[in-house]
Chains A and B, each alone.
Chain A
Amino acid sequence: MSGPNRRVALKVVGATLGAGAFAYAAQPVAQWGAGLSLEETLRRHYKELTPDELAQILRRLEAETKEKYGVDVRIDDIPAQEGVSFGYALNLSICIGCRKCAEACHQENNHDRRTNNSYIRVIEMEQGSFELERGTVDYDHAVPAPGKFYMPVQCHQCDDAPCVKVCPVEATWKEKDGIVVVDYDWCIGCRYCEAACPYHARRFNWREPEIPADEINPDQAYLSNRIRPQGVVEKCTFCLHRTRRGLLPACLEACPTGARVFGNLLDPSSDIRWVLENKRVYVLKEELGTRPRFFYFFDE
C-alpha cells in the first residue's frame, strides 16, 4: 500500500509549500494592514462626530503630522459662516497666463512637491475660440503670447455637483456657504468623483505627499489644506481655512493683474455681485447644468 501513503506524503509536502508561498505572497498586504490604526479605521463620518470626538481627531492628526513631517501645525475645524455664500469670478480680458495662481495654490494647500500638484490648471486658448480642444496647458514661452488668451480652471463649486452626486459614501458634500469639501478620512478612494467632474477639479493621492518641513503651511483646516493621506481624493476648497476667516483665497492674492474677484454672493455691495450684475459673464460648460459658482467675465 505505498500508493495512498505516497499520495498522503505528496499532499503534506504540497500543503506545506502552499502555505509557505501564501505567507510570502501575503507579506506586503500584512505589512500594510499592520500600518493601519484601528482608531482611524473605525472612526465615524465627520458629520456624526461630537465636538469632543472631533477635537480628539484634530489633535491626533496634528501629532501624526509632527511625527511624519517633523512640523508643528495647527489643524482647525472651521465651520461655514452664517449669511455667506461664496462666488468667484475671473477676468479673461486681463489674465496673462503667468500661473502665479497655480503656484500659490501649490504652496498654500500643502501639495505634494514631487508632482508639483495644484488645484488650478491654466489653459492657453486660441483667440477667437472657446474650443478647449484647441487649447493647451503645456505652453512654455513668455506670456502673454500673441493671438492667445488664458483661462485658469479650478473647482467650480457647482450647486448641482456631479462629484457629490456620485460619491457612494457621502465623503464629499456641499457646505452651507457653497463650498464642496471632502472628508479625507472617510473617502474610500474609488475615484468615481474624478470621473464625474467635468472640470478636472479633483486630484487623487497616488502616493503619500512629500513636502519639506520648512515649506509646510502650518495653518491648516480639517476640510481643506491639511496634508492628505495616501489613496484619497482632494480638491480646491476656495481656501476655506482663509476665506471663512475673512481672508481672500491664496490664488487671488497671488494674481499680479487683479483678474480674480472673490466674495459673498449674498452681500449686494460685494465686488462679485457687481461683476455678475454689470459684466458679460461666461460659464464654462454651462450646458451640463451643474450650476457653477465660478464665472469668467470680460472687459468691454
Chain B
Amino acid sequence: MTTTTSSSPSISYLRFLGRVVVLAFSGTWRFYAWMTVLTAIALVGLNAWGHQLLNGMRVTDLSDHVSWGLYIANFTFGVGLAAGAVMMVIPAYLYDDHDMHDVVIIGELLAISAIVVCLGFIVVDMGRPDRMWHIIPGIGRFHWPVSMLTWDVLVLNGYLLINLHIAGYLMYQRYLGRPPRKRWYLPFVFLSIFWAISIHTVTAFLYQGLGGRPFWNSALLAPRFLATAFISGPAFVIVLLEVVRWSGKLTFGDGPINTLSRIMRVTVLLNLFMLGSELFTALYTGGAHGSAVRYLFFGSHGKHALVPYIWTAVALNVTSAVLLYLPRSRTSKRWLLAACGCAFLGVYLEKGMGLIVPGFVPSTLHETIEYTPTVTEWKVTAGIWALGLLVLTVAIKVGLAVWTGRVREREDGAARSADGAALGAEEEPLRDQHHGT
C-alpha cells in the first residue's frame, strides 16, 4: 500500500482521532438538537446520582428485602442488548452473508454502546464507587474464579475491548484506504461471537447460582437470557438500520433486515415457550418455590406492584410474535417496526423488573416487601440510557463517515496546507446528502 503522506503511523493515527473528534461535534441542526436533548437527560441523571452519593441509597426504594432493583434490571437488559448485536456478526462472518457484512459495523458499535450502559448501571448501583479499584485484577483483591461477579467484570470489559479493537481497526484501515488484514481482525471476530454468548451466560449465572433464591435458581435462566437477547438485539438493530437508512448516510438492501426478522421469528417463540415452561413448573408443582411467580403474575398478601409490569410484558411479547408471523410484516416496514418496538419493550419489562425484583419477593424469610422505583432512580436510569445513546450516535456518525469513505487519509493529507477548507469539504457532501432525503 502506498500513501501520499510522509508522516509516521502514530502521527497519522493521532490525526485520525482528531478528525473523529471534530466529526463528532459537527452536523446538522437535527443532530445538534438530538445531542442537546440527550446531554440534558444525561446531566439530569448525573445530578440525581450525585444526590444518591451524598445522601446514601435511601433515596432509592431499595431495602434489605429488595436489595437490587431498577439499576440491576437495566444492567441485565443492557447485557442482553450487547450480546444480541452478535446476531449481525454470526450471519456476516459464519454464514458469509454479504449484505449483512455491509452493515455489520453497526452491530459492533451497538455492542460497545450497550456495554457502556451496563457499566454505568453497575457503577450507580454500588454503595461505594470510590472503592471501585478494589475490583481491578492485580491491584485490588479480585475474588476470581469463585465470585461470578468477577467473571462478569472480565467478560464485560473483555467484550468492550474486543469490539473496540475490531471496530477501531476496520475503521482505521478504511480511513487509510488499505484493505484490512484478516489476521488482525478475523480471530477477534470469532472470539467476539463466543464472547457475546459468554457475557450473557455469565450474567445469568450470577443469579442462577444462588440457592437461596428459588425464582432465579433455575437451569433455564441462561437459555432464557440468550433467547431474550436475540429478540431485543435484532429488534433494536432493525430500528437502528431504518434510522440510518432514513438519514441517508448508508445505502443497503433489505437483506440484513430480513435476516434479523427471521431470527426474531424463531427467538420470540422460543422465549414464550421457555416462559411457559417456567410458569408450569412453578404453578403446577405448587408450594413455596412458586410463591415468587404467584406474586409476579397475580400478586400475593394483597400486594400487586409487579402485576402490571409482567402482564404488559406478556402482552407485548405475544403481540410481537403475532405481528412477526403476519405476512404484512414481511412487506410493510411499519408493521415490522411495530413488531420490533413491542418485542424490545416486552423484553425490557420481562427481563428487567419482571426478573430481578421477584427474585427478592418474597424475601428469603418469606416476607412480602414491595419495591417501586423512586423518581431519583428513574432519573439516573434515563441519564445512563441517554449516555448510551450519545455514545451510539457519535459512534455511528463517525463510523459511517469513515466506513463509506467520506473521511479518508488522503483528503486529510491534501488538507494540511489549508485545514479549515478541508473540514468544510468533508462536511459538505454529508449535508447535501442529508437534505436530499
Contact = CB atoms under 8 A, between A and B. Distances in A.
Interface in A9-30: 14, 18, 21-22, 24-30
Given A28-B54, A188-B132, A288-B211, A153 B365 contact: yes
A31 B291 CA distance: 44
Interface in A139-177: 153, 162, 165-171
B13 interface: no
Interface string A189-208: 11110111111101111111
A206 B149 contact: no
Given A18-B39, A166-B147, A27 B364 contact: no
A147 B359 CA distance: 31
A230 B44 CA distance: 24
Contacts of A186: 131, 134, 141
A251 B143 CA distance: 33
Contacts of A207: 55-58
Nearest to A35: B54
Range, interface on chain A: 35 or more
A187 B128 contact: yes
Contacts, number: 177
A169 B49 contact: no
A169 B142 contact: yes
A31 B365 CA distance: 39
17 contacts: A25-B50, A28-B50, A31-B54, A41-B131, A45-B134, A45-B141, A123-B365, A137-B367, A169-B142, A170-B143, A187-B131, A190-B122, A190-B125, A199-B364, A203-B64, A206-B57, A231-B128
Contacts of B212: 162, 196-199, 285, 288
B126 interface: yes
B312 interface: no
Given A188-B131, A189-B127, A192-B147, 6 more contacts: A29-B46, A169-B143, A190-B149, A192-B206, A196-B210, A232-B128
Given A31-B50, A137-B365, A208-B56, A169 B135 contact: yes
Interface in B28-49: 32, 36, 39-40, 43-44, 46-47, 49
Interface in B115-156: 122, 125-132, 134-135, 140-143, 146-150, 153
Given A162-B212, A165-B147, A36 B130 contact: yes
Nearest to A290: B211
A135 interface: yes
A135 B44 CA distance: 43
Given A169-B143, A187-B128, A189-B128, A202 B291 contact: no
Contact of B366 (A132, A202, A288): A132
Nearest to B147: A168
Contact of A205 (B40, B127, B149): B127
B362 interface: yes
B147 A26 contact: no
A204 B64 contact: yes
A133 B43 CA distance: 44
A36 B363 CA distance: 34
Contacts of A31: 50, 54
A160 B104 CA distance: 46
B56 A230 contact: yes
Nearest to B60: A206
Contact of B211 (A22, A30, A170, A198): A198
Contact of A188 (B43, B127, B363, B365): B127
B365 A199 contact: yes
A22 B365 contact: no
A162 B56 CA distance: 26
B298 to A, nearest CB: 15
Given A166-B147, A208-B56, A200 B64 contact: yes
Given A18-B39, A121-B365, A194 B127 contact: no
B281 interface: no
A204 B153 CA distance: 22
B134 A204 contact: no
A39 interface: no
B148 A166 contact: yes
A200 B126 contact: no
Given A195-B67, A203-B64, A206-B58, A169 B367 contact: no
Contacts of B44: 25
A131 interface: yes
A230 B153 CA distance: 24
Nearest to A166: B147
Contact of A202 (B51, B64, B207, B359): B64
B351 interface: no
A170 B54 CA distance: 25
